[in-house]
Amino acid sequence: MGKYHVPVMLNECLEGLHIKPDGIIVDTTFGGGGHSNAILKQLNKNGKLIAFDQDEAAKNNLPDNDERFVFIDQNFEFIKNHLQYQALIPVDGILADLGVSSYQFDTDERGFSYRFDDAILDMRMDKTSSLTAIFVLNNYTEEQLADVFYQYGELKNSRQIAKQILNSRTQKRIERVNDLKMALENFAPKFKDYKFWSQIFQALRIEVNRELEVLKALLLQCVDVLKKDGRLVIMSYHSLEDRLVKNFINTGNFNGETQKDFYGNIIRPFNPVTRKAVTPSEEELAINPRSRSAKLRIAERN
């Protein structure tokens, strides 16, 4: 059993949520329950916390018999439907910690990390989903693969990488981490290979879990789910996610185009609470090096 990570920027998240003791808060990524447990401590008997997680392993961390706590074992992609069904709209705050948990990275059989050579390339957060990294690597066309690595891994030589995968898979199906490493070993720069593999694995993980589409769906639904002055607190770990969050908070759309009303005021559903993304303190980085890429953005519903 792997260990769930220490929640990243816990105090900053709690501060950003601006929790009212009798409020309704949603934690869209329950994981090890670190953020959720801290939120429950700030709620009184009338407060409520709704937590989402599609990963089976998260169920091992649920709090015992707390009537204020509702767990939904689904992805947050359809957050509005789930909350409507529970008659819990509008809510006071929504927290999303978008990272893959340390537990998922450290559990070798999940195939999220390039450190375990023998791991099967699965990468599904939701084990009931049918798309795996094995399917992507062995069945996607050269053009589809090139798009995945270019858009989600931001790899400039994505076409050559895709071509090489096609060559390799004609000789041997790519099923384990080591198969993929052998196929692409000539592309991994010496002494900087960890960055290359991070980009490859990030691209595959985003594709398998449709992470960016799911994030867009969440942001759009937050507009309907949050009450006026309700808080949206989102922590992302790579530039693709952060750009979507930043654009949506600042402009109300994903491409960052500002729209103004007759009087020149920006039309947007949220106001940024922090001008720039909040990043971990030096102390936190020393204790938890995995937090180094985290960016926290906080917004308030208009």
Average pLDDT over residues 178-196: 90
**Reported confidence tier of residue 32, pLDDT bands at 50, 70, 90:** confident
192-228 tens-digit pLDDT: 788 899 899 999 999 999 999 999 999 999 999 999 9
Provide the domain limits for residue 136. Answer: 113-209
Percent of the chain predicted with pLDDT > 90: 72
Q: What is the pLDDT of residue 129?
A: 87
Average pLDDT over residues 244-256: 95
Take residue 189 and report the two structure tokens written for it. 């720069």
* Phi, psi angle pair for 41, to nearest 5°: -65, -25
Q: Answer yes or no: do 200 and 230 share one domain.
A: no
Average pLDDT in the chain: 90
Q: What is the pLDDT of residue 290?
A: 78
Average pLDDT over residues 161-166: 97
65 touches 41 (CB < 8 A): no
Q: Answer yes or no: do 89 and 172 share one domain.
A: no
Looking at 209, 241, 276, the residue that finishes a domain is 209
For residue 2, tell me if it sits in a domain. Answer: no
CATH label of the domain that carries residue 247 = 3.40.50.150
Q: What is the pLDDT of residue 4?
A: 53
For residue 179, tell me if it sits in a domain. Answer: yes
Of 219, 235, 238, nearest to 296 (Cα)? Answer: 235
Q: How far apart are CA 128 and CA 76, in angstroms?
A: 15
Average pLDDT over residues 126-138: 92
For residue 150, tell me if it sits in a domain. Answer: yes
Percent of the chain predicted with pLDDT > 70: 93
CATH label of the domain that carries residue 202 = 1.10.150.170
What is the CA 205 to chain-centroid distance, rounded? Answer: 11
Instruction: Work out how many domains the chain is built from and give that number.
Output: 2
Q: Answer yes or no: do 191 and 61 share one domain.
A: no
Looking at 191, 209, 227, the residue that finishes a domain is 209
**Reported confidence tier of residue 112, pLDDT bands at 50, 70, 90:** low
Q: Answer yes or no: do 134 and 268 share one domain.
A: no
Q: What is the DSSP string of 188-211?
A: S-TT-HHHHHHHHHHHHHHHHHTH
Q: Answer yes or no: do 159 and 98 share one domain.
A: no
List the Cα angle 179/185/188 in 5-degree steps: 130
Which one is predicted more confidently, 44 or 99? 44
**Based on the number of CB atoms within 10 Å of its own CB, is 288 exposed (0-12), middle (13-18) or buried (19 or more)?**
middle
